[in-house]
Chain A
Amino acid sequence: MKDFPYTESKDTRSGFGAGLHELGKTNPNVVALCADLTGSLKMDAFKKDFPERFFQVGIAEANMMGVAAGMTIGGKIPFTGTFANFSTGRVYDQIRQSIAYSDKNVKICASHAGLTLGEDGATHQILEDLGMMKMLPGMTVINPCDYNQTKAATIAIAEHHGPVYLRFGRPVVPNFTPADQNFVIGEAVMLNEGTDVSIFATGHLVWKAVLAGKLLAEKGINAEIINIHTIKPLDAQAILASARKTRCVVTAEEHQMNGGLGDSIAQLLAREEPLPLEMVAVNDSFGESATPDQLMEKYKLNEAAIVAAVEAVMKRRK
């Protein structure tokens, strides 16, 4: 098992804020819109240095999506910022008609996704957003794993024409991917080559998969760990190549089983290479109030859950 040294832990939302600020300097067409959560989204630096390109929309997310769609007409590249819940479910029809169906170049940037939002509870902990967004034709869906990757993804999506959903979160997590990484939309990242099982993880679960890999190595299990930062378009080639090698698959995500990464990979395997698969995800449940770590343990989204899923799936391997 490879080692992944890191010197600091940071929140992924700060990676977004840093990437957005960088874009402010390099791309004059980038504009930012926020629905009264500038501090939470780490958009303050952009707001301070590029005030003429920052638009405070207030607590009016539906309007924000429409205004963003309109700003693309004239060549602007709007980045909208609010919590993941208010970036998706609250405004699904606005995204569907004014952005996705209209092929508008809007970047929907969503923080505080999943259980790790913590104490605010289930009203704010969306676990369905990846599913809603990936169902929209033409929508690109990205869930990076740490600060560096979120910053790189934020910069990369400005160069991609078309609607993008970029999902990140609130908690401080190990910042272990390279600062100078070349983020390629739709290209899976091999973290550890292995032979016994393929672990496909996204977002905060990527680091949990790394921790699980170490525990598995101690048990003599050689896990292949791949970071699927882009849920749509899915890197089918990388996923199938790994699955054909290891013959069993575990998926891991901070999302419902229905509609998430595991769902996408299950569809792919069923069509191309039916193999045993276990999903580490929330099983048809809302979240609740507690600390992020408590919730990740209770809802079985941690390294122990991944190890258990690996052991279960390896028993099913033929």
Chain B
Amino acid sequence: MPQTAEIATADLKEIAAQVRRDIVRMVHAVNSGHPGGSLGCTDLLVALYFKVMKHNPEQFSMDGVGEDLFFLSNGHISATLYSVLARSGYFPVSELATFRKLNSRLQGHPTTHEGLPGIRVASGSLGQGLSVACGAAQAKKLNGDDRRVFVLMGDGELEEGQNWEAIMYAAHHKIDNLIGVIDHNGQQIDGSTAEIGGLGDLRSKFEAFGWHVLQADGNDYATLLPALEAAQAATGQGKPVMFIMDTRMGFGVDFMMEGHKWHGVAPNDAQLATALEQLTVGTVADY
């Protein structure tokens, strides 16, 4: 697939459908994983890796100087990241078949430990990615590198206090080459975020902390792509940028879109077949 700023939205949709097929097949194969959030964030990751970010899949470098960087703080949606990394050229697509299996580079949660190209820090224990992204963004400033740093977090993950340390830090230090994205699906393991953590008015909270805030639907390229454009346009103006991305957990597979049930459950054989029927692509290129 082409990696270009000029890529057509139809092509992004095609890639996203293929990534969603990968996700449900990967979690089904090992009867474990987190399909709900993975499906909800697929459109974002496809947009970042196939349209928005300047990056170098063929020659991965840990330092990523001159490249845009992406950090996944909610590491449990690893299946999405692995599929997008493989399909954008970081490693062979066939390796997706090793997900969560013994001796794999595709661990349950992402890690640098096995040297998988495209991963720059381990994540899974929640609340740490924003701090790491702040540091990486400050290193870019020290290096005179004008590219940006993206970091994706879950909304339930905002219950972790370290995030609020980082939110205060990023504004105080004017880390304006940083774009945070909240996967705002309103769900977490034990129920809705409203019921469990009481996230409240996120936009007002981030604005009060001194961030530039955007909000848009993250499962519709008609709104997602302009939001990502606007987020990038807002960088370089003295404030970190937070994109509250409204998503549906399980997006693309109808029976996975209800509530929080599919946060961490794999489909059975029949459910996989139903899911794959719904995830149609022009030319199926399953791993």
Contacts and interface: CB of A to CB of B under 8 A. Distances in A.
Given A74-B145, A103-B112, A66 B128 contact: yes
Q: Which 7 A-B pairs have the closest CB atoms?
A: A70-B135, A66-B131, A74-B139, A63-B165, A60-B165, A67-B135, A70-B132
B281 to A, nearest CB: 34
Given A60-B168, A66-B128, A97 B142 contact: no
B154 to A, nearest CB: 16
Interface stretch (A50-58, A116-124, A193-201): A50-58
In this complex, the member of B124, B132, B137, B161 whose beta carbon has the largest number of chain A beta carbons within 10 angstroms is B132
Interface string A67-82: 1111111111010000
A101 B162 contact: no
Contact of A69 (B63, B111, B132, B173): B132
B142 A31 contact: yes
A240 B131 CA distance: 43
Nearest to B151: A70
A78 B64 CA distance: 17
B112 A70 contact: no
A68 B121 CA distance: 12
Interface string A176-218: 0000000000000000000000000000000000000000000
B113 A73 contact: no
B270 to A, nearest CB: 37
Interface string A97-123: 110011110000000000000000000
Interface in B107-146: 111-113, 120-125, 127-140, 142-143, 145
B65 interface: yes
A74 B132 contact: no
A101 B111 contact: yes
A73 B131 contact: no
Contact of A70 (B111, B137, B168): B137
Interface of A: 31, 52-53, 55, 57-58, 60, 62-76, 78, 93-94, 96-98, 101-104
Classify chain B: how many residues form its interface, as a range.
35 or more
A102 B139 contact: no
Given A31-B142, A98-B128, A103-B113, A70 B121 contact: yes
B131 A63 contact: yes
A67 B120 CA distance: 13
A215 B129 CA distance: 54
A96 B123 CA distance: 11
B255 interface: no
Contacts of B121: 69-70, 73, 98, 102, 104
A146 B41 CA distance: 53
B111 to A, nearest CB: 6
Nearest to A33: B135
Interface in B228-276: none
A52 B128 contact: no
B128 A73 contact: no
22 contacts: A52-B142, A53-B142, A58-B168, A58-B169, A62-B131, A66-B129, A66-B131, A66-B166, A67-B131, A69-B135, A70-B138, A71-B135, A71-B142, A72-B135, A73-B69, A74-B142, A74-B145, A97-B125, A102-B111, A102-B112, A103-B113, A104-B121
